[in-house]
Amino acid sequence: MAAKLLEVGADMDTNSPSIIEAQDGNYAERSTSAQTDSCLPDPHLFTKEGRKDYNIYGIPLYRAAMNGDIETVRSIVSTYPWAVRQSITEGMETVLHVATAAKQIALVKKLVTEWMRPVDLKLENKDGNTALCFAAISGMLPLAIVMIKLETSLPKIRNKAGVTPLHLAALLGHREMVQYLYQCTDDDLTDPERHGIFIICIRNGLYDVAFNMQEKYPQLATTRGSFNETALHVLAQKPALFVDENPIGMWRRIIVNFSGFAHHSSKLSQALRLVDSVWKKVLQLEHEMMWCLIEHPSILTLDAAEAGNVEFLIQLINSYPDLIWRVNKDNRSIFHVAILYRHESIFSLIYGIGSIKDLIATYEDENKNNMLHLVAKLPLQGRLNHVSGAALQMQRELLWFKEVEKVVQPSCKEMRNAEGFTPWDLFVKEHEDLKRRGEDWMRRTSHSMLMVATLLFIVVFVAILTLPGSLQNDAANPIILQKISFKIFIISDAMALFSSASSILMFLSILTSRFAKDDFVKRLPCMLLLGLGTLFVSIGMMVAAFTATIFLIYHHGAIWIPTLISIFVSGPIVLFASLNFPLSVDLWNSTYGSRSLFCGRKHDKLF
């Protein structure tokens, strides 16, 4: 079909205005009768009379638009110049819509500059979206620029939902597209539209755009949206920007530290600059209006505490210390909320408020729960999953309980809530299932590793009793005591024997443990970590002993044989390390890294 169309249009001048303007009599008649709205494409191809034309050039045109086939589109347009104004999908999309959605930049530029009139760019699909809307959704700025250059009114055209291309670009978070379309649309936006886009920019991390909007229109800082929320409420609920508490692997953490630090710092500074600018506008309000904004529809500081937004809290409380005293309807402060949602960085701020700490720590909620009761409650599963494995989760929960215990008054430890539970009683009740799962996980892991360690012990013990070669110095059996390979064998086998025996003892100690709750804090994880470490050493030494034996046996043969075998037998070490290294890292971080769990913000002063 494409070849035939190319032959038909070979003698036509595709750059001639006559191609764009040409219309046969049938098409003109269809346009008058079928198009009741000048912004809608001609639906001829999807009428009973147009089915034949749809098969002739509608389907090929759609395929060419999707694939960016400029030559095929050129042939079709040369033969059927009105095709650019016809819908080629049941959604009423034109060839320009399809090519834009497919991100075919070269084809779109050809369509816009050579084969379509400026008015054709206003054609809308059944949802009222122009091709510019598709460009805004896909974030293809070059397409938007070339379209708007020919038809400057495009950014102002709203679809059937009343949404502009700028709004669509903001929803998808396309920063460059939003910046460009905002310049083209700003003066034509209504106040509700502008505030809606402002809030969307904040939600999608376009803080520089939001800052520029707020600087030009200061009222945006205090205007409420469709859900009665203000810009500060939206910013308070965005923890991912201000602090990253998501668990990531060691190697990914290293990569992020080196490659992503500049980007994260830039985004953080943009967000803090926006918070500072908006907060200053709020502080300029009358006292009652300011507190109304802060506390409705929810209390800003408590929203931030629930989300883990520590930088946001520091910035607000630094400039308005009275916020530290705000509590919710349950009489819970930001520190009580931080305990419930296990945000270490926020709870650690309590060490920077001086004697106020002692007063806030005495707060009880409506059910007479003090801070220790709250930390005794099992958190949401999502927060627990920040630590892998039930045993390490139990360890983290115990660390939290011990840390809060340091803050509250000694009398709080024996207080009973409305249900009659002391904090420790409530902790035991809430964490009973987690403790059981942690114990099962420890037993299963230790039992599996114990079998491997026992097998290794047997292998290396037998190997030391059946020395390779001969100790007699005769012509048939040369002495091997003086060979370096033999010395390597003896040392490696002895170390493998010692480390496998140590590993067996560690795993046996775990299996015979009482599994008391305090054992989960350090004793059990340390034994498991030590057992894994000695098991890894044992495997490595066993492989080294085997390699040395190979070199002893084949010392008269070709050297490449023992070398090749040595390379292959190193596979178990690599396999074991790759499978168990993540577990070892988690154990290390959770056991020894947790010592600084609450130290990150202890020295930060809120006032």
How far apart are alpha carbons 336 and 322 in whole angstroms? 17
| Cα–Cα separations (whole angstroms), residue 408 to 163, 322, 360 | 53, 22, 9
In this predicted structure, what is the pLDDT of residue 562?
73
42, β-bridge pairs: 86
User: Which H helix or E strand runs over 607?
Assistant: none
Which of 68, 103, 126 represents a domain boundary (last residue)? 126
Average pLDDT on 177-198 reads 93
- Which residue matches tokens 């299932």? 433
Q: Which pTM was predicted?
A: 0.78
In this predicted structure, what is the pLDDT of residue 8?
31
Question: Does 366 map to a domain?
Answer: no
How far apart are alpha carbons 128 and 92 in whole angstroms? 9
Name the percent of the chain in helix, strand, coil, to the closest 5. Answer: 70, 0, 30
Residue 557 neighbours by CB distance under 10 Å: 9
In this predicted structure, what is the pLDDT of residue 242?
55
Question: Does 230 map to a domain?
Answer: no
Nearest to 315 by CA among 243, 260, 261: 243
Question: Does 452 map to a domain?
Answer: yes
Structure confidence by residue, pLDDT tens digits, 465-499: 776 555 455 544 455 666 777 788 888 889 999 99
Check whether 11 has a pLDDT greater than 50.
Answer: no
Residue 386 neighbours by CB distance under 10 Å: 13
Percent of the chain at pLDDT exceeding 70: 84
Give the SS3 label for residue 86.
strand
Question: Does 3 map to a domain?
Answer: yes
In this predicted structure, what is the pLDDT of residue 257?
44
Q: Identify which has the larger pLDDT, 170 or 603.
A: 170
In this predicted structure, what is the pLDDT of residue 385?
86
Contacts of 567 (CB under 8 A, 6+ apart): none
Check whether 532 has a pLDDT greater than 60.
Answer: yes
Rounded to the nearest integer, the mean pLDDT of the chain is: 84
Q: What is the DSSP letter of 538?
A: H
Give the pLDDT band of residue 294 (cuts 50, 70, 90): very high
In this predicted structure, what is the pLDDT of residue 28?
37
Q: How big is the chain by its Cα radius of gyration, in Å?
A: 36
Question: Does 59 map to a domain?
Answer: yes
Contacts of 589 (CB under 8 A, 6+ apart): none
How far apart are alpha carbons 15 and 12 in whole angstroms? 9
Q: Which two tokens stand for residue 145?
A: 């620029």
Give Cα 220 distance to the centre of its chain. 29
Give the pLDDT band of residue 34 (cuts 50, 70, 90): very low
Question: Does 467 map to a domain?
Answer: yes
Check whether 195 has a pLDDT greater than 90.
Answer: yes
In this predicted structure, what is the pLDDT of residue 20?
35
Number of folded domains that form the chain: 2
Question: Does 103 map to a domain?
Answer: yes
10 Å CB burial of residue 102 (0-12, 13-18, 19+) is middle
Give the pLDDT band of residue 93 (cuts 50, 70, 90): very high
How far apart are alpha carbons 16 and 114 in whole angstroms? 9
In this predicted structure, what is the pLDDT of residue 31?
40
How far apart are alpha carbons 331 and 367 in whole angstroms? 10
Structure confidence by residue, pLDDT tens digits, 381-413: 888 888 888 899 999 999 999 999 999 999 999
Structure confidence by residue, pLDDT tens digits, 362-372: 999 999 999 99
Structure confidence by residue, pLDDT tens digits, 576-590: 778 878 888 888 888
Structure confidence by residue, pLDDT tens digits, 107-139: 999 999 999 999 999 999 999 999 999 999 999
Question: Does 502 map to a domain?
Answer: yes
Check whether 501 has a pLDDT greater than 50.
Answer: yes
In this predicted structure, what is the pLDDT of residue 382?
86
In this predicted structure, what is the pLDDT of residue 602?
57
Structure confidence by residue, pLDDT tens digits, 295-328: 999 999 999 999 999 999 999 999 999 999 999 9
Give the pLDDT band of residue 604 (cuts 50, 70, 90): low
Domain of residue 529 covers: 443-569
Which of 72, 97, 126 represents a domain boundary (last residue)? 126
Check whether 425 has a pLDDT greater than 60.
Answer: yes
